[in-house]
Structure 1
C-alpha cells in the first residue's frame, strides 16, 4: 500500500482501505468508494478534482458507477481548463454529452449527443469498469475549491412544445418558443419529419437556441387535404405519443427533465402522454378565443340553436360572450355543406380532453384588448392570452434580430422587396390566401379581373400546384397583369404587411393573417373559405372595424365587380385598420 500511495501521490490525510470482494460499494458509513481503475487509468488524484465531485453530486451517482472513460472525459476537461484558461463545467458537458447506462444501472457513461463534437477525444474504445475499489475517507475533497463552469439548475428542466406540419401551427409554436427563449427558458420543439424537412429549406433563418426533435408520422412528404385525414390523425397520434414518451424519458436520463408540455389543440394525445408522466400540460389555441367559445357552446347546450341558423340563413342568434351570429359567421365544420367528417368530432375530443383536467388552462394566440369578453366567457376554463404571436422586431421592437418566424414550410422568394420599395405609400394591394387552399381557376380569373379593374398596383402570392405548374400560367390577361403588379410564389408575410407601400390586404382570413393585419394596421378585404375563417372575417368587419367581407353570388363565388367594390372601399379609408394597431 505504501508503494501505491507514493506512485499515485496519495496525501497523508487521505485514508485508503481496499474493499473485500463482493461488497456493495455504498454501504459503509463515513467512507466513499473509488475504483482502482479510476486512480490508475484516468489520472484521478486526491483531493478529487472539483468537477468530478460536482458531477457526482448533481447526478447522484456513486463514484464506482462511473465508467473509466467518463473519468477520462471529466479529467480531460479539467486539464483543458487549466492549460488554456477555459472555464468549462457541467453545463458544457451536458450540452455535448448525455448519460447512458449499462449492466442494469451499475455503470453510467457519457455518450456524445447527435451532431455534437467530443470535447475530449481519443478515449479507448473499450470503456471498462472495475469491481475492485478502495474505501476512501479523510480529506479526499477540497470543499473550498471553486467549481468551474456556469451553474447548472437540474430542477429547472425545459418544456416541450409540439407542432403539426401546417404553416399556421408551426409559425405560432416557433414564435411562442422564441418568446420563452427571450425569458431564459430552454425549449424543445417536437414535430413531424415532413415539417422538419421543409423547415430545413429555410435553415438560414431557423432560430438559434431552440432544439428540434422530429418523428415520422407516416406522411414524411407532407399531408394534403385530399389525403385520408382520419388515417393521418390516427398515425400521428400513435407515432407522436411514442416519440413524446421517448423524449421525456431521454431528457430525464440526461439530467434535463421535461417540466411541461404545450401542444396544439388538434393533438390532444400529447395531454394523455403528459398525464402518464405526471407532467403539467396546456393546449395552444392558434385561433381566436371567440372560436373556442363558439365550439364550447356548440357542445354544451347550444348545438341545436347553432344548427338552426346553419339550416336557415335568414336566422340569427346570440350566444354568451359572443355577438349576433348568422350562418355566414360560424366555422365551416358546423355547416350542412361540410365534407370533412373529422372536423366536429375532432374539436369535441379536444374540448373533452380539456374538460377532464382540474382547473384547465389554455394558451390563446390573442390579447386582452382584442377579445376580453370571449376570454372570460367560459368560467371553468382559464384562457390565457399570449399573443399576438408576431416576431418581436415588428411587434414591440425588443429584439431586432427576431424579424421572421424562421420556419416557413415553403421556400421564400426575395425579389419583391425592391419592388415594394419603389412604390408610393399605401398604394399596393397585397393578395395571399395561405398555404392550404387554391381557388378554382374561374374564381382566380374573377379575382384578377377585379384587381385590374380597380386600377391598383398589386403583389399576389400564388403557390405552384402539386404537379409543379405555376398557377399564373393558367390565367388570362397575363400581359396586363405584369404591367399592374407582380406574382411571387412565397414571401415573408410580416415583412410585406409592415412595408409602408402596402395599403390593403386581400386575404382568406386565417387567424395568423388576421392578427398580423391588426398588428400592422392594414385593412382587409375578406374572402374566407374554410374552418374558422368566416368567423374571423366577421370579427374583422363587425367587431374590429378593420375589414370588409366580400359577398358571394348564388353559386358561392365572388365576382370581379365585388372584388373591385371592396378594394375601392378599403383603400384610402383612413379609419380602417388604425384602432387595433395602437392597441397591439
Structure 2
C-alpha cells in the first residue's frame, strides 16, 4: 500500500517531437509507466491534443499553446525556426505544469524527452528535475550516429563499406541517408549529433527496441551509456495483452478509413493481400509513384495501398478505376489492425522504425523500399540480419522499376514466403516475450519505476 501511495505522488513529464512517428512510441511507453502507478503527463502542442479527444487513456495530455489549429505545425517554417519556437513553448509549459502538479501533491521527478530535443535537459535542470532521452529509432541507428559523434569516422564517407563496433559490414547504401548524403541534410545531421553531448548527464537512455532484436549492438552501447530497451512500443492487445484497455495508439493525425479497410480485408482469403504504406511523411516522386502503381498492377495480387490525400494526384490516370477488382486505395488506415489481419501476406514498406517494429511484432514478411534517414539501415537488417524481408534494388538513376517491384512482391508472396514467414514468426515470439511479465523490456521498465520513486 505504501509503494502504491508513493507511486501516485510521483509525476513524470513526457515530451515527444510533435510528429506522429515520434509521439506514438513515447505515448505507448507512457501508458506502460501509468499502469505501474506513476502519474504521467504528455506535454504536446494544443493542436495535437485536439486529436486525442474522445480517446480513453491512462495518460494525461497537457496542451502547449501553439496558436495553430491546423495540425500542420512544421509546414510553414524551417526546422530550425520550429525547433526554437517549440523550445520556448516547452520551457513555459513545463514550468506551469510543475507548479500545477505540485499544488495537487504530485512531485515532478523527471522529463522523458525525445532525444532530438537535447535542450530539454537544461530546462529540466532549471526546474530542479531530472531528464532522460528517448530514442525513437533503433539502437543500431543510435550507435552509428554515436560513432560519428565520437569521430570514429568522418564525412563525407571515403570507403564503399564501413566497419563499426558490433555492427555488420555496412555499404554506402546501407547507411542512414543523413550520413551517406550529408550535404543534403545539414540541420538534421547537426541535430542527430548534438543529442549526445549531454548523455553523460542522464541516468537512463530509453530506446524503442528489445534486447534480443539487436543483441550485439545493445551490449556495446551498454558500455557507453545507460541504455534501457523498453519496446516494442505497440498497444498491449497486439502483444502481451496485459493492458486490456490498450487497443490502439489513442492518437492519429490522420483519419483512417477503418470500415472500408476491414470489410475489404474480411472478404479475402488468408495471405492473399499485399499491404502498401509509406508512413506519415515519405513522399514518392511522381515517376516513382507510377512505377509502384504499375508494379502492383503487374503482380496480379490483391493489394491495399495507403496513399495520403496530398499524394493522390501522383497516381496514374484511371489507376484506381482500372484496378478496382484487385485493389483498394485509401488515404489512411488502422495499420495494426491491417497487419494483424489473416488476409495480409506481405507489407511493402518504406521501413520507418515504427512500421518495421509493427511488422516484426506481428510476424508479417516485408518488401522494403527505403526512402531516407534510418530507413536504408532498417532495410539492411530486415533482409540480411533478421531475414524477414526482401529489399528492392534501384536502377542507376535511383528508380525502382515496375519490373523490380513485381519481382520482389511475387518472391515475398511465392517462393520465399515460407522462409520469410518462419523467420517473422520467430521475431513475433521474441517481441512478445520482451514485454511479457519478467521479459527484458518489462524488467527494464520495472527497474526504472522502482528507482524513480525513490529518487
TM-score range, shorter chain: 0.7 to 0.9
Aligned match of 1:295 in 124, 137, 145?
Answer: 145
CA distance in 1 between counterparts of 2:342 and 2:7 reads: 47
Partner of 1:341: 186
TM superposition shift of 1:251: 1.6
Tell me, yes or no, if the aligned pair for 2:175 and 2:376 is still in contact at 8 Å. yes
Mark the CA change 1:510 to 1:261 in structure 2 (over 3 Å): closer, same or farther: same
Aligned match of 1:556 in 367, 373, 398?
Answer: 398
Q: Map Cα deviations across residues 332-390 of structure 1 (whole Å, 9 max, x no partner).
A: 111236523211111122110213x16x4210000011011111213130111100001
TM superposition shift of 1:471: 3.7
CA distance in 2 between counterparts of 1:405 and 1:417 reads: 18
CA distance in 2 between counterparts of 1:474 and 1:563 reads: 16
Q: Give yes or no for the alignment of 1:451 onto 2:293.
A: no
Partner of 1:265: 115
Tell me, yes or no, if the aligned pair for 2:57 and 2:250 is still in contact at 8 Å. no
Partner of 2:233: 389
Partner of 1:210: 59
Mark the CA change 1:530 to 1:218 in structure 2 (over 3 Å): closer, same or farther: farther
CA distance in 2 between counterparts of 1:210 and 1:493 reads: 22
Tell me, yes or no, if the aligned pair for 2:236 and 2:242 is still in contact at 8 Å. yes
Aligned match of 1:190 in 34, 39, 43?
Answer: 43
CA distance in 1 between counterparts of 2:104 and 2:425 reads: 50
TM superposition shift of 1:170: 1.2
Q: Give yes or no for the alignment of 1:245 onto 2:95.
A: yes
Tell me, yes or no, if the aligned pair for 1:451 and 1:563 is still in contact at 8 Å. yes
Q: Map Cα deviations across residues 164-212 of structure 1 (whole Å, 9 max, x no partner).
A: 2211111111111111122222211100123223x24xx33x2333211
CA distance in 1 between counterparts of 2:318 and 2:293 reads: 9
| TM-score, normalised with respect to structure 1 | 0.69
Q: Give yes or no for the alignment of 1:511 onto 2:356.
A: no
Q: Give the structure, 1 or 2, with the largest relative contact order (CA under 8 Å, sep 6 or more).
A: 2
TM superposition shift of 1:578: 2.5
Structure 1: segments with no counterpart, 5+ residues: 1-150
| TM-score, normalised with respect to structure 2 | 0.88
CA distance in 2 between counterparts of 1:294 and 1:225 reads: 29
Q: Map Cα deviations across residues 424-462 of structure 1 (whole Å, 9 max, x no partner).
A: 101100000011122122111100111111110000001
Q: Residue 351 of structure 1 aligns to a residue in which SS?
A: coil
CA distance in 1 between counterparts of 2:8 and 2:283 reads: 48
Aligned match of 1:366 in 185, 209, 222?
Answer: 209
Partner of 1:351: 196
Partner of 2:445: none
Partner of 2:436: none
CA distance in 2 between counterparts of 1:224 and 1:493 reads: 24
TM superposition shift of 1:483: 1.6
CA distance in 1 between counterparts of 2:74 and 2:392 reads: 27
Mark the CA change 1:226 to 1:376 in structure 2 (over 3 Å): closer, same or farther: farther
Q: Residue 578 of structure 1 aligns to a residue in which SS?
A: helix
Mark the CA change 1:307 to 1:166 in structure 2 (over 3 Å): closer, same or farther: same
Aligned match of 2:171 in 313, 326, 331?
Answer: 326
Q: Residue 292 of structure 1 aligns to a residue in which SS?
A: helix
Q: Map Cα deviations across residues 77-133 of structure 1 (whole Å, 9 max, x no partner).
A: xxxxxxxxxxxxxxxxxxxxxxxxxxxxxxxxxxxxxxxxxxxxxxxxxxxxxxxxx
Structure 1 segment 125-204 matched on structure 2, within 5 A: 153=6, 156-197=9-50, 199-200=51-52, 203-204=53-54
Q: Map Cα deviations across residues 468-513 of structure 1 (whole Å, 9 max, x no partner).
A: x844765443322212110111111111000010010000110000
Aligned match of 1:566 in 396, 399, 408?
Answer: 408
CA distance in 1 between counterparts of 2:283 and 2:378 reads: 19
CA distance in 1 between counterparts of 2:418 and 2:109 reads: 47
Partner of 1:105: none
Q: Map Cα deviations across residues 551-583 of structure 1 (whole Å, 9 max, x no partner).
A: 111221111001011111111411212321121
Tell me, yes or no, if the aligned pair for 2:237 and 2:246 is still in contact at 8 Å. yes
Structure with the higher fraction of residues in helix conformation: 2
Partner of 1:409: 253
Tell me, yes or no, if the aligned pair for 1:332 and 1:338 is still in contact at 8 Å. no
Q: How many residues align?
A: 420
Structure 1 segment 528-543 matched on structure 2, within 5 A: 528-543=370-385
**Range with greater deviation from structure 2 (427-436 or 329-338):** 329-338
Tell me, yes or no, if the aligned pair for 1:450 and 1:560 is still in contact at 8 Å. yes
Structure 2: segments with no counterpart, 5+ residues: 432-455
Partner of 2:338: 496
Mark the CA change 1:232 to 1:504 in structure 2 (over 3 Å): closer, same or farther: same
Q: Give yes or no for the alignment of 1:580 onto 2:427.
A: yes
Q: Give yes or no for the alignment of 1:527 onto 2:369.
A: yes
Structure 1 segment 70-89 matched on structure 2, within 5 A: none
CA distance in 1 between counterparts of 2:9 and 2:291 reads: 56
CA distance in 2 between counterparts of 1:583 and 1:400 reads: 21
CA distance in 2 between counterparts of 1:316 and 1:335 reads: 11
Partner of 2:242: 398
Tell me, yes or no, if the aligned pair for 1:175 and 1:390 is still in contact at 8 Å. yes
Q: Map Cα deviations across residues 208-240 of structure 1 (whole Å, 9 max, x no partner).
A: 332111113465532346741111111111221
Aligned Cα root-mean-square deviation (Å):
2.0
**Range with greater deviation from structure 2 (327-336 or 506-515):** 327-336
Q: Residue 195 of structure 1 aligns to a residue in which SS?
A: helix
Q: Map Cα deviations across residues 486-543 of structure 1 (whole Å, 9 max, x no partner).
A: 0111111111000010010000110000001101111111111121111111110111
